Amino acid sequence: SAVISQKPSRDICQRGTSLTIQCQVDSQVTMMFWYRQQPGQSLTLIATANQGSEATYESGFVIDKFPISRPNLTFSTLTVSNMSPEDSSIYLCSASGGGTDTQYFGPGTRLTVL
């Protein structure tokens, strides 16, 4: 199984600022993803983080708002740019591959925007 860590675990930010969330996997994985979970809601996929190339975004999510990097097989970052209170959510990193179909999730980053 893969163990995924995220930093920070939570943050409170001011409107108009940006926050970068880091995701680290303890083993090499094929796929990495970023999800958003708004209060009381289920998970929505933001994008697939591709190693060494631009991320693949889902409908309703754009690179200018959620730039993503994945410089190697085990690390990715998600930036939430020009934040507004509507961006208050839990952001979760997930990964799969490395010989298993199971998708593993990090502990999440709880973001509150004032």
- C-alpha distances (whole Å) from 28 to each of 17, 19, 53, 99 are 32, 25, 17, 10
C-alpha–C-alpha distance, residues 69 and 72, integer Å: 9
Instruction: Tell me which of 25, 68, 70, 97 binds other proteins, using CB under 8 A.
Output: 97
Kind of pairing, strands 68-72 and 56-57?
unpaired
Task: Give yes or no for residue 38 binding other proteins (CB under 8 A).
Answer: no
Size of site (CB under 8 A) for other proteins: 25
34 binding other proteins? (CB under 8 A): no
Site for other proteins contains 101 (CB under 8 A): yes
Rule CB under 8 A: say whether 36 interacts with other proteins.
no
Binding residue (CB under 8 A) for other proteins from 78, 83, 92, 111: 92
From 43, 65, 67, 79, residue interacting with other proteins (rule: CB under 8 A):
43
| Residue-by-residue DSSP string for 62-99 | -TTTS-EEEEETTEEEEEE-S--GGG-EEEEEEEE-SS
**Tokens (6 digits) for 22:** 């880091």
Among 17, 72, 82, 102, binds other proteins (CB under 8 A): 102
Distance CA 93, CA 60 (A): 18
Q: What residues line the site for other proteins (CB under 8 A)?
A: 4, 6, 30-31, 33, 41-45, 48, 90, 92, 94, 96-97, 101-108, 110
